[in-house]
Amino acid sequence: MWRDGEVAGVTTDIVVLSERAMVSTVGFAAVFYSEPAVLGLLANVVSAFLLCLQNFATAHTGLRPQGAEDVLAGVHLILIGGFVQLLAGFLAFRKYDHLGGAAFLTFSALWSSYGATRIISAAYPPLQNITLSSGNASQLLSSTMTHLSTSQSAVAGLVAYISISFILSFCSATVNYIMPFIFGAIALALVFEAVALFGQWALIVSGVIELVIVLCGLYGAMALLLKGITQRYILPGFGHPLFNVLLLGSAQKSSSKAIGEEKKKNTKYAEPMALGNICDTVSPFIFAFYFFGYMKTFCVGAAWISIISSCQLLSSFYSYLRGDVYYTTKFGAHSLLWLVMSWEEFVLTTFLEPGKAQESRLGMFGGWFFLVVACMLFLMSTHKDTLEMLQNASFIILTSAFIHQIPVSGAYPFLGAACSLCTALSLYATFASLINSIGEKALIPVGKQAMSSSTLQTTLMAAKICFTRSKNFPSGTKAEVPDALFYICNGLAAVSAIQGTLSDPNRQQLSIPSVLIPGAIIQLYICRIQVQGGRRFGCVLPFCYAAFWGAWTWLRFAGHLMNIGAGNSEGFTAGAIAFLVLNAFLMILASSFNVVLLCMTLAVELLTICFLLFTLEILPLPFEIVMLCIFSIICFYGATASLANSMFGKDLMMMGPSLLTAESSKKNTEDPPPCICPKSHCTSGLRTIADLLNTGAVCGVPTDTVYALAASCRHPQAIEKVYRIKDRPQEKPICIFISNLDQLRAAAPPISPLLWEFMENVYPGGVGCIIKKGEWLKKLGVGEGYSRVGTQDSIMIRVPDLTVLVHLIDMTGPLAITSANPSGEVDSTHHDMVISRLGHKLEGVLCDGESDEVVASTVVNCTRIDESGITILREGCIPAGKVMQIFERVKNRAV
């Protein structure tokens, strides 16, 4: 079997993949996930079929579903259209499917929201007034509250998803020609579903379109299922796009990476920017409907926004998995904003009287913290593209309008206009990010950068130099990806917890969402990503503080609703004392990290004392207000410094040194490595490995996919040693790597013009081409290793897209390459894995950190390219569909 250029039958590949799956569940290769689109399409089929049956039944009888029938329909939509498609979206992201991941998670939110609307509609049927009994419940709902207008509320969400569905339909046409019809039919069905909320005549049209979704979806699912089973396309519709994505424009010369930070290409997970922009389109669109007065209550709107905001948290999570701290923070903060705004408006319109609540809103300050966070994100985006800056500028406008000191009569039109602006920019950003991700080029213009990355770093470091007179001021533990979001959540909770008086129940009730959601709920999400990274306190610190803010909300803001007050809160008194002891230990741990974290935990200790004094009815309120303000300032600085330092991997802003350090930890007690392990960024390290290879050694080297074992083709005994090191069967051939196609041209192989053109389009990169073997290999520099590379008749040649390896090949000549793992085990994705598993058998390992991929290259048989085209023998880091698109384009051009 070929590995990174070694091929055998499909059966052997499947066996090896199964063996790898049993070896490790961490970092599965994208190919392991087969075709998640089958699951997503079937979820859409079942959901559309359910609506189709209901629409035809309603049109026939004239009676809309209600009661239990509506509840059951809603539950089915949530479970099948929502959760099943959610799983498909997860798998699509892991398969590096930009379009599939964004589309399936978006439609998961759509069907879940529509299902929730059905359930709410059944709970509060039209023209039914709600009468509440006396007692505590009367404090929760107004006794004069009229029915919840499903038609007013749901239409806003449907219209938002209609625009998103049309964009997804258009973008999917650049991938295949089945998805466009399915996504387009969903968009049309939503149009008539929205119309049907006001007139039953549209139900028939909607039902017919939903039948189209069912038929196209079943065909697409069957085609992909057969493709997954047979590893080739049996039914037409996939593998070829309606049109080439490159027709949408030429690559922009100025991209965010041209002058900004340079990072390795991450293909372990699909890019989540499109999903985040979709969420930033739907949420403000629904809010715009509400703020312009088209919705009287926000119960259904809160449900729709909560669901789509959960998807935005997923885009934040996938940004974290890709190591992108900026989008992790941005999408997390935006999700937080939408959730707080929606549930605050829900409380205002459902539980309170807006007129009487206006005075209470004047004493709320959470909107100010959102404003400074929006300004911080704008600053950090100045080295990115213009579109990103415009989006952040629109959120500055939105958060300015959200400030509670602005009267409702003036704030709502301002908020409506700001939400409309956010919707328009996010809609364009959705289209641009999808197309640019699919094409892997900046095809849709997003603008230039305002400043370079180095300029922004210099600006951020200016304050540090001013205070310390040095760039190298000692600092504690480096900031990690989720730290900025952790500080933002605690800071927002603290600002929102500020109360000018203890006798305003309306203000307390309105403050519940802005304290509980960031302080408790979103911090549980931060716990999850802290556990994923295995860093810092794990999930201990955010989990403890989530419990703290949850208890604060329960007693201070919701206590009057449950007849709990300062006079009967003995349990809270005991809990506060226990938390004082617990947080003292957290302070000791924080002192071993940095000063900012220590100051934060110290401020929490003082806030816990305030909480304790409240339970004892001796709280000095001004002291608590001062402590909440200081705590929020610490959190804002911590968020800014963590974001800046994590984005650029440098200590640009001071976090302070660790105060507790163990001297013994400084001693190097590690065992020496079993082989020579030079760094790839050092010229001396590259020369060391080259000298070893030229003397017949076998070394571990990084590639543009996974780590590999390399041996010089001039030393057949070294190639034989590779087989012994890996316990590799002799019948499995080894491929060769060259540095560029000019080397191949100099050897003058008998290659047709079509194959030359195809190679020029796939090299350098993660595609290996199997061609016919011949004496020309000796001219290439293979030498005595001729009989030990490839098979008797063919050889796989690859040109890697990694500068370090290309320079190494220039110094050694062609290298025989195979993956750096014991035969049948999982690939090595870090030099530490190579050293620990095979280092004692190798002479050297070139250390280059984490690999670009978790899966090897895509292998293409080109031996009969002129007669019958190419054959994908193994799908790796480059999708088979993309390789086929390149070949079809090259073939059509040749004709």
Q: 499-520, pLDDT tens digit by residue?
A: 888 888 889 999 999 999 999 9
Maximum alpha-carbon separation in the chain: 95
**Closest residue by Cα to residue 460 from 262, 657, 654:** 654
Is pLDDT at 729 greater than 60 in this prediction? yes
Instruction: Give the lowest-confidence range in 141-145, 171-175, 230-234, 570-574.
Output: 141-145
Helix (H, G, I), strand (E, B) or coil at 126: coil
Q: Model's pTM, two decimal places? A: 0.78
pLDDT of 869 strictly over 70: yes
Write down the residue that tokens 């007179």 correspond to.
469
Ranking 149-153, 293-297, 591-595 by mean pLDDT, the lowest is 149-153
Strand partners, 709: 700, 818
Of the given ranges (282-286, 387-391, 883-887), which has the lowest mean pLDDT? Answer: 883-887
Give the pairing type, strands 794-798 and 871-874.
unpaired
Q: What is the pLDDT at residue 110?
A: 96
Reading the block at residue 431, the tokens are: 């289209």
Q: Please report the pLDDT score of residue 130 as a whole number.
A: 38
pLDDT tens digits for range 82-125: 999 999 999 998 888 889 999 999 999 999 999 999 898 887 76
| pLDDT of res. 140 | 38
The sheet with strand 708-712 has its strands ordered as: 844-845, 699-701, 708-712, 815-819, 735-737, 794-798, 767-772, 858-861, 871-874
Q: Considering only CA atoms, which of 343, 277, 346, 325 is closest in space to residue 521?
A: 343
Distances (CA, A) of 4 to 27, 110, 719, 732, 857: 18, 41, 15, 12, 5
Nearest CA-CA partner of 270 in 132, 455, 119, 103: 103
DSSP-based three-state secondary structure for 416: helix
Question: What pLDDT sits at residue 252?
Answer: 53
pLDDT at 34: 65
Q: Is the pLDDT of residue 890 over 80?
A: yes
Q: Which helix or strand (DSSP H or E) is residue 164 part of?
A: helix 150-172
- Of 207-211, 545-549, 568-572, 814-818, the poorest mean pLDDT is in 568-572
> What mean pLDDT do residues 714-740 have?
86
349 vs 375, higher pLDDT:
375
Distance (Å, whole) CA 127 – CA 68: 18
Whether residue 810 is predicted with pLDDT greater than 50 in this model: the reply is: yes
What is the residue-wise DSSP string for 440-475?
Answer: TS--S-----SS-HHHHHHHHHHHHHHHHS-S----
Q: Taking the chain, what is the end-to-end CA distance rounded to the nearest angstrom?
A: 34
Provide the pLDDT confidence category of residue 151 given band limits of 50, 70 and 90: low
